[in-house]
Chains A and B, each alone.
Chain A
Amino acid sequence: MSYLVLDRVCKSYGTAGKRTEVLTNVSLSVERGEFVAIVGPSGSGKTTLVAMIAGLMKPDSGTIVIDGKKVKGTGLDRGVVFQNYSLLPWFSVFSNVLLAVEQACPDWPAPRRKQHVERYLRMVNLWPARDKRPAELSGGMRQRVAVARALAMEPNMLLMDEPFGALDALTRGTLQDELIRIWDDNRRTVLMITNDVDEAILLADRIVPLSFGPQATLGPEIIVDMDRPRPRQSLHRNADVKRLRNSVTEYLVHSRRKPASRSLGSSTTPLGIGAAP
């Protein structure tokens, strides 16, 4: 059985009168150890989807099952990287990560936890900034702390909501490599949200596009059938990559041309897909 199964998940926001259904009939299966990327335009409901899988929100209808158990709430089996970083501003970088490690590994002695935090902070190149408060960091640095926090929990499944969105190309590249290395080491399940098709092609086993909202739903999956490691330099010359990129963007562009009744206001939504460099 798949590790994560979403079955016809629907979610609406707002109260009775002006209720908008954001996600409609979202179904998805993710195998254990698989790396799946969800690509979708801004405002389509990607964060909403992550929140439901994380257990922060209940779907209005449909079910979410992880490892055979229906999701009832949050759990330490899922490590979440929030889109807006969500670091606790009153703690230092180190303490933010340490808190997560304390929760995830309550039996460990303190020195071991600290070593563990150090390892992950070094990995994201933030060891020198360990005593800084989040407010003293740049957006990209905060994002790296958030990534380190989720990774350090070594969860069964990583849920990442646009984890590298605020990073420059160079840092983004390093972290993508690091993420793939970690993932390759222990093959945890990863569900990553991104609006960068190339990032999805570089990292994922499978790309699932999410259509324009409201009433967004997942489109046909696109299998990234390329050997790993995938050298980023040769990617943009690869014919497969062009084909994959085209099929993702094509689906998304088409999903936008919905009957007028369904696309209230969406005609003004900018195409949130990261353009190919």
Chain B
Amino acid sequence: MFMKIDTNYFRPVFLPLLGIAAVLFIWTITSATWAKKLPSPLQTWEQSKDYVMNPFAKRGELDQGVLRFTGYSLLLVIKGYVLAILIGVPLGLLLGTSKICTESLDPIIQVLRPVSPLAWLPLGYILFEQPQPAAVFTIAICSMWPTVLNTAVGVRAIPPDYLNVAKVLNLSGWKLFTKVYLPATLPYMFTGFRLSLGIAWLVIVAAEMLTGSPGIGGFLWQEYNSLVYEHIILCIVTIGLVGFVLDRMMSFVEARLRVA
């Protein structure tokens, strides 16, 4: 009885705490020994308290609560992400249904896919001449590939049985799409959406750093330039947590779809 309760709590609560403690310990040692410029955990907390305790405060353009900055970033990410989905889903459907499209577009996609956001951003600047659209462009073009590829895989994986039913019922056009193709591929699409969102969030920091837009990435870069290293760590932790939460949310929806 005692053992049972003990292990029940031990695993999900104490093990992660143990991991955090270990990291904080190594961090403290590191900052105390060979990396003197690295702020210690305690220093970091002292300097960041204000930003965390008043997460929505706005004291000035460059001095705002951490969640307020996150909000700006999320807004930008959502714009790029929505654009990625709007382009990615139809492209994926096209690739999934047409062999000719797959064969002609696949090499291009494979070449464009690994290109870093840092490489796309200047091109975005040239095309749109504004930091915000350039960032949106970069997020969209970097994050759309998982959506494209997963949608295509999903379409190809539709069991022939369902397509046979559709044929026997003479389903066509919009009805065929909404009654068979869409529900059959939705779980795959959502895997793509989740991975895409992860990339979009990854790209935002780079995009904000280079464009100097207000947001969590812009804040990070600005604090680096003003030598407030504690805030860099604050930003890193925030970015990680937000990314984690986004991923959990998408996984939740994804799991729901798989069951249905």
Contacts and interface: CB of A to CB of B under 8 A. Distances in A.
Q: Do A and B come from one complex?
A: yes
A88 B170 contact: no
Contact of A86 (B165, B171, B260): B165
B113 interface: no
7 contacts: A55-B168, A74-B170, A78-B168, A80-B168, A87-B165, A90-B184, A100-B169
A107 to B, nearest CB: 15
Interface in B162-213: 162, 164-165, 167-171, 179-180, 183-184
B161 interface: yes
A82 interface: yes
A133 B245 CA distance: 31
A88 B183 contact: yes
Contacts of A133: 260
Nearest to A146: B165
Contact of B179 (A56, A76, A88): A88
Nearest to B183: A90
A100 to B, nearest CB: 6
Interface of A: 51, 54-56, 73-76, 78, 80, 82, 84, 86-91, 99-100, 103, 133
Nearest to B162: A88
A90 B168 contact: no
Main secondary structure of the interface of A (DSSP, over half): loop
B162 A74 contact: no
A90 B168 CA distance: 18
Contacts of B170: 74-76, 103
Given A56-B167, A74-B168, A76-B170, A86 B179 contact: no
Contact of A90 (B161, B165, B171, B260): B260
B165 A88 contact: yes
B260 to A, nearest CB: 6
Interface string B49-64: 0000000000000000
A84 B159 CA distance: 12
A164 B186 CA distance: 32
Of B170, B184, B260, most buried by chain A (CB within 10 Å of CB) is B170
B179 A99 contact: yes
**Nearest 4 interchain pairs by C-beta:** A90-B183, A86-B161, A74-B167, A103-B169
Contacts of A80: 168
B244 to A, nearest CB: 30
B181 to A, nearest CB: 11
A82 B260 contact: no
Given A86-B162, A99-B179, A100-B169, 11 more contacts: A54-B168, A73-B167, A75-B170, A80-B168, A82-B161, A84-B161, A86-B161, A88-B165, A88-B180, A90-B260, A133-B260
Contacts of B260: 89-90, 133
Nearest to A74: B167
B169 A56 contact: no
